Amino acid sequence: MLIRYGKNSKGRLIRQAKVYTLDEHGISRRKLDHDALKVTDRLRAAGYQAYIVGGAVRDLLIDKVPKDYDIATDASPTRVRKIFRNSRIIGKRFRLVHVYFPQNKILEVATFRSLEGGDGENIYGTIDEDAKRRDFTLNALYYSPREEQIIDYHDGVKDIRNRKLRSVISLDTTFKEDPVRMLRAVKYSVMTGARIPYNLRRAIKRDGALLMECSVSRMSEEIFKILQSGYSEAIIQRAVSLNLFEYLLPGLHKQLAGPRGREFSKKFFRDLQKLDKYIRKGDEDKSRGRMLYFLCKTYLSETGALDEGEETSFNDTINVVKEVLRPMIAPNRDVMDGVKLIFKKNGWKIPRKRPHYKAAAQMGGRGKSAKTGSGARKRKGSKTGDQ
């Protein structure tokens, strides 16, 4: 193992990070995505630093195939944009670059963040500063494809090998800075098999209500990420145990906690188990409509929304689904596709005309629910998340 040194404020040499070589971590360039290598190699050729970061490094260390590759660099977004014609700058709170490849493939390139800039400020820094802005140690790893080395500032490699989830930022502040980190903690623990230590569990239970401050659109995206992860059953079960699910989908949580909660829970999680098996199949339809079908099927049957059989109103069923999902935003087309699947499974007729949605239920609505009393909450604008 090598050691990366730096200087403190007094100019003295200090140990900053551990550097793992190929013999120690076993991740060669050959295991990496070809397009990710293209991006890092071109940035290096232009004189900049470039690393594979975050989830891709974590997954490779536990012998999983990464779904996404994110790249960190000291090149500014405008410089990255000039180097890659097939790219564009996105974001206002913190600017990133998306580099586009065939088959709708996108690689995200982020400039190192500074400790001076808060969330939403485009102030760039060094790799040393960027490492201190990461959420958890298992995501604070930087892989250099050219040297085939992993730079580890927070003993993330050790935590991965010990299957332990540990926050980089103080637990007194990390979830206040970005409440969505609590959902990431749940996802990472399930998907990597890492245990959540007592102090981290306590902080999540203490700060769970902060999720209400996140924007509705951002929370909706997080819910869809959970549904398409292939681990939705275990993630939602853990979210329930940590008192987070009530802030994600209060309408469904109300059923889980209700008088028939035990029976509802069995059927609901059985549906999510089926969704996970479906998602893990290679060539199956993974549309959001199908995800909503699995998410809401038990709710519709257990609450009597389908009791009229063939006479069940297609439009009313759509509105019931949109109501129970509140405050989540589910596009009309996705909800309609989900309800279509329910009608097809039951052999019921589907109207040819596009349905008209009730205004109160459109776009996941803000304000109090009229039917379910789920108390959809108005969410404030949220801070930007970790890259």
CA distance 28 to 355: 53
User: What is the structure's pLDDT at 107?
Assistant: 97
- Going by the DSSP 8-state scheme, the letter that residue 377 receives in this structure is P
Least confident among 17-21, 128-132, 211-215, 284-288? 284-288
CA distance 335 to 355: 11
Residue at 266 is within a domain: no
Residue at 243 is within a domain: no
User: What is the structure's pLDDT at 363?
Assistant: 40
User: What is the structure's pLDDT at 175?
Assistant: 97
Exposed/middle/buried for residue 352 (C-beta within 10 Å: 0-12, 13-18, 19+): exposed
pLDDT at 367 over 50: no
pLDDT at 144 over 90: yes
User: What is the structure's pLDDT at 116?
Assistant: 79
Residue at 23 is within a domain: yes
User: What is the structure's pLDDT at 119?
Assistant: 55
CA distance 387 to 365: 29
SS3 187: helix
User: CB-based contacts of 28: which residues, under 8 Å, 6+ apart?
Assistant: 22, 148
Residue at 131 is within a domain: yes
Hey, CA dihedral for 115, 116, 117, 119, is it positive or negative?
Answer: positive
Confidence band, pLDDT 50/70/90 cuts, at residue 284:
low
CB count within 10 Å of CB 131 equals 24
270-275, Cβ contacts within 8 angstroms, sequence gap of 24 or more: 270/298, 271/295, 271/297, 271/298, 272/232, 272/233, 272/236, 273/233, 275/227, 275/232, 275/233
Confidence band, pLDDT 50/70/90 cuts, at residue 371:
very low
User: What is the structure's pLDDT at 282?
Assistant: 67
- The domain in which residue 72 lies consists of 1-162
* Closest-CA residue to 67 (of 163, 187, 218, 204): 187
User: CB-based contacts of 206: which residues, under 8 Å, 6+ apart?
Assistant: none
Per the structure block, which two tokens stand in for 20? 């793992």
Residue at 25 is within a domain: yes
The answer to whether 53 touches 61, Cβ cutoff 8 Å, is no
User: What is the structure's pLDDT at 95?
Assistant: 92
List, for residues 30-73, the tens digit of each pLDDT value: 999 999 999 999 999 999 999 999 899 999 999 999 989 999 99
- Please give the positions annotated as active site: 68, 70, 135
For residue 58, the domain's CATH number is 3.30.460.10
Average pLDDT over residues 179-189: 97
Instruction: Report which residue type is found at 112.
Output: F
Least confident among 66-80, 200-214, 269-283, 318-332? 269-283
Residue at 286 is within a domain: no
CA distance 288 to 338: 8
How many structural domains are present in the chain? 1
Residue at 366 is within a domain: no
User: What is the structure's pLDDT at 351?
Assistant: 86
User: What is the structure's pLDDT at 48?
Assistant: 98
Specify the DSSP element, H or E, that contains 108.
Answer: strand 105-111
Instruction: Report which residue type is found at 22.
Output: L
CA distance 257 to 349: 34
